[in-house]
Structure 1
Amino acid sequence: MHLNSNLIFRNLAEGIFLLDKTGRITTCNAAASAITGYNEAEIAGKPFRVIDDCQDDPITLSNELDEALKKKKCVAEGWKLRKDRTRYWAEISYSPLFDDSEGLVGYCALLRDITEQKNKQFDLLESEQRYRLMVEQVGDYGIFMLDTKGCIVSWNEGARRIKGYSADDVIGKYFAIFYPEEDILNGKPAWELKVARSTGKYEEEGWRLRKDGSRFWANVVITAVYDAEGRLSGFSKVTRDLTERKMNEQALRESSDKYRQLAQELSVANSELSSVNRELEQFTAIVSHDLKEPVRTVRSFLYLMDQHVDQQKFDLLKLSIGKGIRAAQRMHELIDSLLHYSQVSKVGLQHQKLNVEDMIAEAIQNLNDAVEQSRAQIRVDTGVAFIYGDRVQLVQLFQNLLGNALKFTNGREPEVAVKSWLEDGCVRFVVEDNGIGISPENLDKIFEIFRRLHFASQYPGNGVGLAVCKKVVERHRGKIWAESAHGKGASFHIMLPQI
């Protein structure tokens, strides 16, 4: 730079000093005086280092001037000292000055007070350092940075504690090392970065791997990081180990399932207990009426026989003895029926695959004498090949239904149809007859034990057959009902699970 007498007055916003070849101040402008607190008269002739915070260091200034001479310019920063001894941060730009013959005559020093700007930088740097120290010391969260390609560039204490890797183990490696093999094969790590880049953040919970290969349940948040110009500079990744919470939730869920199952079992047991209570009530009614009735009859005829003996009416004894025997026989049949009914629930079910046609054929064969005597026509139309269940009890079920169809005919030749088909995942059976039918008001009563709708003199039996049918169907998780009208035959409908 060539010397110009007007240079000192240029750019009044900056402090301008003119120095001689040795670095002593020759003059300065008003802006320089305002910054330093020295007027021109006070500072002229003094070494330029008078404004330095460390005035006993002539070497630094000499080096800066030498560099300015070699490179035509030198910019330096540092703490400076005002006249009132207050410090400020300054930026100084040195330029050499030459005369017309290119001889060095001195230097021009442009001084700028950048204390406020520098303090902001210091504050930011200090804040960044505090943040970095805080992140590095956090133990409950794994916090680390990835570059734009997903490679790890920083690693904190929490990440080391959670994942088991040291910083030296992972810095520079692709972050997929924390993912199970199935996630890597599915491209999950790259997909997560893609989502974070497009939406700003990716968050999920899932299984991750520690250094020793063990799995842990993690909450993961990946956030895209951008620079001041809006360009992607990388990703921050925060990981929390939620394995304990996951295990507690799983234990709670298993416990809940266990108690739900227990509640269901208790509900079933309660239902069965209610059913048993109803049966006990029926048994009480039976004992109080049906069983007492033949006992009263036997007792009455024994009393009559005693009277006949006293009155020596021996010719009447045989009649009374016969009636007493018949009453005792009826009581015996009732007791056998009760035992048979109770055995249906006690015997364990044999769950086996049964041919439907063979099962119904066996029931018909067991009724062969009744079929021949009544000249019944039984038509079987099975649309289902097989069913799973207890062969003995299911044969008994159809045997009882067919037996009723043969019995309640009022003198007609019985016509019976047995049909089956699949319906709503179950097998539906229908047994239809052309018998005397059942009044609508009695359709629900006929399945009660010992419930009879006719006198024994009309239609023999003890009212146990349909009650046994109902119990067999219920034991096979099905349902049974009757449809009929008086005098128009009856149809019994059964729904059973096929398997």
Structure 2
Amino acid sequence: MPQLKRKSDPLMSDDRFRMLLDAVTDYAIYMLDARGLVSSWNAGAKRFKGYEEAEILGQHFSRFYTEEDRANGMPQRALHAAEVEGRFEGEGWRLRKNGERFWCHVVIDPIRDAGGALIGYAKVTRDLTERKQAEETLKQSEQQFRLLVDGVTDYALYMLDPTGVITNWNTGAQRIKGYTPQEIIGQHYSVFFSTDDQANGEPQRGLDRAINEGRFESQGLRIRKNGTQFWASVVVEPIRNDLGDLIGFAKITRDITDSLEAQKALEKARESLFQSQKMESLGRLTGGIAHDFNNLLMVVLGSLEVVRRRVPDDPKILNLLDNAIQGAQRGATLTQRMLAFARSQKLVVEALDAPALVRGMSDMLQRALGPQTRIEVRFPLRLSPLLADSNQLEMALLNLAVNARDAMATGGQIVIAAREETLAVDDGDLVAGRYICLSVTDSGEGMDAETLNRAREPFFTTKGVGKGTGLGLSMVHGFAQQSGGRLMLSSAKGQGTTAEMWLPVAGEPLEPLAAEDAPVFAASTVVQALTVLVVDDDPLVLLSTAAMLDDLGYTAVQAASGEQALELLASSRRIDVVVTDLAMPLMTGLELAQQIKQRWPTLPVLLASGYADKLDETELALPHIGKPFNQNELVQALIELT
């Protein structure tokens, strides 16, 4: 039996197609006639465009466009492109019924009849507003991040591809390294490394460590565009995608040159402070030793003078005693030099005979320099006097001589010389005038240019730890400048060193210096018989001073403390004058003098101190004498006091 063919039902087919289109709510699917008038409308179009079918059928589709797009002819161009090219596809802003804008994706296809004539258009629109907003948010975030990165000028922030090639560049990188983005993007980041670092594979080693360890951080020298070096703190971190694949590196570089220099300066300042504190402690220690040594010399000198007056008139014994006294007096001179080192003092400027000064310290120089060092002195027959502080000049010459000795490891010769120079015009630190140039030349190893340039810096030394403070030349330099002169150094490696102190010539000629005589002693009688109360906490000094007074014809009464002295004064015993040590425990000599002035205003007091050069204004206002003193000085002070 032949099979019957079922005739299709056009109505049934249209209904099903209509039901299919209405079921699609995520897309607006509708048709336009050849003029662009809406001829069909599905549920999706109604959902996100807002028009009911009855409201929109017969209306021109251009009402979905913004006013700007309609003015620019965008709807007509879209239909024309679909007709001519067979399809139009694009994205843009459209309008809902309520006037709200939304971003959509549009496809327009032309519809033609069997003969190819255009009868309308099929239009599919998808609402992409949420995606557009997300893209705009992402774009805005990226722009803000880019602005943030570009706004950072203290750090070089940039990225590398997996091979180390630079892919972007911020303002900080341009400022620190000197390259513009156009110059550096596309180059390998090893361009920032020195030639040695590149040869050693340092750039790739940093990337490998970042990959293996998740982060690489280091400090090192890097190169700017202009070839200068800077000290950089570097961080490199790998960048991976969601699958964990390496897609590049984030690199952060900070120029820490200034901070490192500041740290070095701070460390140098700390070291200088430590050296200064050490020198201050050494100065206090030296001052204390000098004070105690003065007390010992006081005992020796006083006792020797008393013994000399009472021994028989035997020339051999007298010569021995005179030698002993002169030796003790030289010890007193040495303590004065120690105190000059220990104190911060104003210069006592006077006219000095340089040859005589050097001769006077020759023994001290030879002992200080040792037997391996030969000292030669070269002075002209006539030399004008110079203007300086004698103690400080001796210290300066000693410093220069010791430096010269240290430069000659196996010994050698030091030449101390002098000459007169005249400057017609100002020359740097020196004003025009006449100068004496005192020089110390050694045959040592000499200095290179860098060492020579820094030789006068405080605390700079080429000696090992514990072998030098670095203050010698700086002290000489400061002394010379303070005296109106300068210190000049000339040296070359392997050719020795010459240090020259230029000091101004004194305006008036010196009086002829008398030869050193044997000590002159006080007369056997005094102007008047006095009872002297001697106060000292050192029993040796107390006994020696009392013996000196008794030998001079005075009556000496002894007190070992300020309290005991006040008790003796309060007794009925008559006291004509008080000689008291200044530095005593419990009650100082000044405090004793002040109490005596309150209770016995007419009783004279003489202060004796091994620190005579360091008395303050209150102490200086009182009569005083420096230790060690001899009989002549003591009797002279008592005569002036009474």
TM-score, with length taken from structure 1: 0.55
Q: Which residue of 2 aligns with 1:80?
A: 94
Please report how far the alpha carbon of residue 254 of structure 1 lies from its aligned counterpart in structure 2 after TM superposition: 3.0
Instruction: State the one-letter code of the partner of 1:147.
Output: D
Distance 2:189 2:248 in 1: 13
Q: What is the aligned-residue identity percentage?
A: 30
Q: Which residue of 2 aligns with 1:308?
A: none
Q: Which residue of 2 aligns with 1:181?
A: 195
Distance 1:184 1:248 in 2: 29
Distance 2:127 2:326 in 1: 118
Q: Which residue of 2 aligns with 1:58?
A: 75
Distance 2:365 2:329 in 1: 11
Q: Which residue of 1 aligns with 2:614?
A: none
Instruction: State the one-letter code of the partner of 1:150.
Output: G
Q: Which residue of 2 aligns with 1:454?
A: none
- Is residue 334 of structure 1 aligned with residue 352 of structure 2? no
Question: Per the alignment, do residues 15 and 124 of structure 1 end up closer, same or farther by CA in structure 2, a change over 3 Å counting?
Answer: same
For residue 13 of structure 1, the aligned residue among 26, 31, 34 is: 26
- Is residue 160 of structure 1 aligned with residue 182 of structure 2? no
Please report how far the alpha carbon of residue 89 of structure 1 lies from its aligned counterpart in structure 2 after TM superposition: 0.8
Question: Per the alignment, do residues 183 and 274 of structure 1 end up closer, same or farther by CA in structure 2, a change over 3 Å counting?
Answer: farther
Question: Per the alignment, do residues 97 and 59 of structure 1 end up closer, same or farther by CA in structure 2, a change over 3 Å counting?
Answer: closer
Q: Which residue of 1 aligns with 2:50?
A: 37
For residue 27 of structure 1, the aligned residue among 34, 40, 44 is: 40
Please report how far the alpha carbon of residue 178 of structure 1 lies from its aligned counterpart in structure 2 after TM superposition: 1.5
Q: How does 1:281-292 map to 2 (within 5 A)?
A: 281-289=295-303, 291-292=304-305
Distance 1:272 1:8 in 2: 110
For residue 170 of structure 1, the aligned residue among 184, 201, 209 is: 184
Q: Which residue of 1 aligns with 2:370?
A: 350
Please report how far the alpha carbon of residue 60 of structure 1 lies from its aligned counterpart in structure 2 after TM superposition: 3.5
Q: What SS is found at the alignment partner of 1:165? A: coil
TM-score, with length taken from structure 2: 0.44
- Is residue 193 of structure 1 aligned with residue 207 of structure 2? yes
For residue 110 of structure 1, the aligned residue among 124, 128, 132 is: 124
Please report how far the alpha carbon of residue 51 of structure 1 lies from its aligned counterpart in structure 2 after TM superposition: 1.8
Question: Per the alignment, do residues 389 and 182 of structure 1 end up closer, same or farther by CA in structure 2, a change over 3 Å counting?
Answer: closer
For residue 215 of structure 1, the aligned residue among 209, 218, 229 is: 229
Computed over aligned residues only, the root mean square deviation of the Cα atoms, in angstroms, reads 3.9
Please report how far the alpha carbon of residue 18 of structure 1 lies from its aligned counterpart in structure 2 after TM superposition: 3.5
- Is residue 247 of structure 1 aligned with residue 264 of structure 2? no
Instruction: State the one-letter code of the partner of 2:235.
Output: V
For residue 122 of structure 1, the aligned residue among 100, 112, 136 is: 136
Deviates more, 1:83-92 or 1:245-254: 245-254
Instruction: State the one-letter code of the partner of 1:247.
Output: E
Distance 1:188 1:274 in 2: 59
Instruction: State the one-letter code of the partner of 1:334.
Output: A
Please report how far the alpha carbon of residue 390 of structure 1 lies from its aligned counterpart in structure 2 after TM superposition: 9.2
The structure whose Rg is larger is: 1
Please report how far the alpha carbon of residue 229 of structure 1 lies from its aligned counterpart in structure 2 after TM superposition: 4.6
Distance 1:127 1:25 in 2: 40
Instruction: State the one-letter code of the partner of 1:26.
Output: S
Q: How does 1:221-236 map to 2 (within 5 A)?
A: 221-236=235-250
Unpaired segments of 5 or more residues in structure 1?
302-320, 354-387, 392-499
Question: Per the alignment, do residues 200 and 60 of structure 1 end up closer, same or farther by CA in structure 2, a change over 3 Å counting?
Answer: farther
Instruction: State the one-letter code of the partner of 1:347.
Output: R
Q: Contact conserved, 1:196 with 1:222, CA < 8 A, in 2?
A: yes
Q: What SS is found at the alignment partner of 2:168? A: coil
Please report how far the alpha carbon of residue 117 of structure 1 lies from its aligned counterpart in structure 2 after TM superposition: 2.1
Q: What SS is found at the alignment partner of 1:28? A: coil
- Is residue 144 of structure 1 aligned with residue 161 of structure 2? no
Distance 2:167 2:278 in 1: 55
Q: Contact conserved, 1:49 with 1:61, CA < 8 A, in 2?
A: no
Distance 2:272 2:84 in 1: 84
Q: What SS is found at the alignment partner of 1:213? A: coil
